[in-house]
């Protein structure tokens, strides 16, 4: 490939720490704990070198936009603006994006990792599935041919190393996109990711934002707060099945949003040329604490939840313990959210301006009450039937 990539871009391992506009708040105390834990761990040295995202380290990424011109190698057929590539199409948000895109008449290509159980549902909907692995950059360029817009909703799964997909993979993808003249790149990030560098996932998202902004690609960054869909598995189903619900006593509030709404607003933003290069934050209509969500579920389900409240202090403590072991490092990475949870932070953002910008009516955005109510009224009976069947096979002591 005759791509003129700046060498700086090609080495994602080259980071240095930076601390710009990051105020050291109470969080800094916790951040000093993490490296100590890592230091004591006899196994930490065997983790991959060049680790960019553990503990308080921050990733600095630079992309030299001015040296990279859009290389249009193919003077032939212009790409159709309806042809899009969705990365992370099998995820909670990704699949909604794919559905929305197909329904609005886009030609959708889905970048999916080669795996034994292929994502059949995407093909059944009429999307074209291409195999590529973000951790293997050489597999990427072929999937971008003929693509106008990339929508990137990929986030590493809990069981895999966060850095592999979320950072190195994304860097490679953005570089390829730039080199192949992709005309728009939509990136989903996490709300407040600039304020919590101690959380590896957020740190990486923030750095990817920066990298994308510096890349010179025509882009939109959308920061998200939380998905309503996630609540179903976490609270609604366990409550209905009379299983224990695990929650924290943290006062964190999250403005959950329906992924279908996120997908809808994304495409409105995508088509609006005025939003190019902007950073939007999508938040649900109201921010909820875990306790409030559980209470709401209880009311709608008509039964009490079996709540196991885990104090946040335990989470924090567990994270430190897990730092001792190599194999739990990723879990520990995830658990650093615990630290975010302790601060009475609100994962929400005023949406009025965004709605105005997009020309969306507030009434069209689903509230959590409505969402869960729909869920419970429709599923209640169905689940109870299922439960009745499964109960017969359980032996109760």
Residues within window 88-127 making contact with another protein, judged by CB under 8 A: 92, 95, 99, 102-106, 120-121, 123-126
Contact 224, 188 (CB under 8 A): yes
Minimum separation from the CB atom of position 94 to another protein (A): 12
Q: Applying CB under 8 A, does 78 fall inside the site for another protein?
A: no
282 Cβ contact partners less than 8 Å away, ≥ 6 residues apart: 222, 223, 224, 225, 257, 261, 262, 265, 349, 351, 354
Tell me if 392 contacts another protein by CB under 8 A. Answer: no
Q: Which of residues 358-387 bind another protein (CB under 8 A)?
A: 361, 363-364, 371, 374-375, 378-379, 382
For another protein, the binding residues in 164-183 under the rule CB under 8 A are none
Closest-CA residue to 104 (of 152, 155, 149): 149
Told to check if 157 binds another protein by CB under 8 A, we report yes
Query: If binding is defined by CB under 8 A, does position 206 make contact with another protein?
Result: no
CB closer to another protein out of 92 and 295: 92
Region 33-52 residues binding another protein, contact defined as CB under 8 A: none
Q: Among residues 167 and 347, whose Cβ is nearest to another protein? A: 347
- Residue 222 pairs with which residues in a beta bridge? 188, 280
246 to 239, 308, 318, 387: CA distances (angstroms) = 10, 5, 15, 20
Q: Which two tokens stand for residue 229?
A: 């869909």
Q: How many CB atoms are closer than 10 A to CB 292?
A: 13
- What's CA 17's distance to the chain center, in Å? 23
Of 17 and 123, the one with the shorter C-beta distance to another protein is: 123
Stretch that binds another protein, among 13-21, 154-162, 178-186, 295-303 (CB under 8 A): 154-162
Total number of residues shown for the chain:
397
By CB under 8 A, name the one of 71, 79, 310, 357 that touches another protein.
310
Of the candidates 318, 309, 296, 311, the one whose C-alpha atom is nearest the C-alpha of residue 376 is: 296
Q: Choose, by CB under 8 A, the member of 185, 206, 227, 288 that binds another protein.
A: 227
Residues 232-251 that bind another protein (CB under 8 A): 232-234, 237, 242-244, 246-248
Q: Between 128 and 147, how does the x/- string for binding to another protein read (CB under 8 A)? A: --------------------
Min. distance of Cβ 61 from another protein in angstroms? 23
Q: Are 87 and 150 in contact (CB under 8 A)?
A: yes
| Residue 105: φ, ψ to 5° | 95, 15
């Amino acid at each position: 490939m005759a791509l003129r990539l700046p060498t700086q871009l090609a080495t994602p391992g080259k980071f240095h720490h930076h601390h710009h506009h990051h105020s050291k708040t109470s969080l800094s105390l916790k951040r000093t704990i993490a490296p100590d834990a890592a230091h004591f761990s006899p196994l930490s040295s065997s983790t991959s070198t060049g680790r960019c995202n553990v503990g308080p380290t921050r990733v600095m990424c630079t992309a030299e936009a001015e040296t990279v011109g859009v290389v249009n190698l193919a003077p032939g057929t212009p790409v159709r603006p309806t042809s899009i590539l969705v990365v992370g199409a099998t995820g909670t948000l990704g699949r909604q994006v794919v559905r929305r895109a197909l329904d609005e008449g886009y030609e959708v290509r889905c970048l999916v990792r080669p795996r034994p159980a292929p994502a059949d549902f995407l093909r059944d909907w009429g999307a074209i599935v291409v195999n590529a692995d973000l951790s293997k950059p050489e597999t990427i360029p072929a999937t971008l041919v003929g693509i106008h817009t990339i929508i990137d909703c990929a986030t590493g799964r809990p069981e895999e190393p966060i850095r592999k997909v979320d950072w190195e993979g994304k860097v490679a993808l953005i570089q390829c996109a730039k080199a192949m003249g992709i005309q728009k790149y939509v990136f989903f990030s996490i709300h407040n990711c600039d304020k919590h560098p101690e959380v590896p996932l957020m740190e990486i998202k923030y750095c990817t934002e920066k990298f994308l902004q510096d890349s010179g690609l025509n882009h939109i960054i959308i920061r998200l707060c939380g998905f309503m869909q996630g609540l179903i598995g976490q609270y609604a189903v366990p409550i209905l099945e009379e299983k224990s619900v695990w929650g924290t006593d943290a006062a964190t509030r999250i403005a959950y949003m329906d992924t279908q709404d996120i997908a809808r607003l994304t495409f409105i933003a995508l088509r609006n040329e005025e939003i190019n290069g902007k950073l939007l934050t999508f938040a649900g209509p109201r921010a909820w604490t875990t306790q409030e969500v559980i209470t709401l579920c209880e009311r709608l389900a008509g039964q009490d939840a079996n709540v196991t409240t885990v104090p946040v202090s335990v989470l924090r403590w567990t994270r430190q313990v897990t730092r001792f072991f190599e194999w739990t490092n990723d879990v520990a990475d995830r658990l650093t959210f615990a630290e975010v949870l302790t601060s009475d932070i609100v994962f929400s953002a005023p949406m009025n301006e965004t709605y105005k910008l997009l020309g969306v009516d507030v009434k069209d955005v689903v509230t959590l009450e409505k969402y869960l109510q729909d869920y419970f009224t429709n599923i209640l009976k169905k689940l109870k039937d299922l439960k009745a069947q499964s109960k017969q096979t359980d032996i109760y002591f």
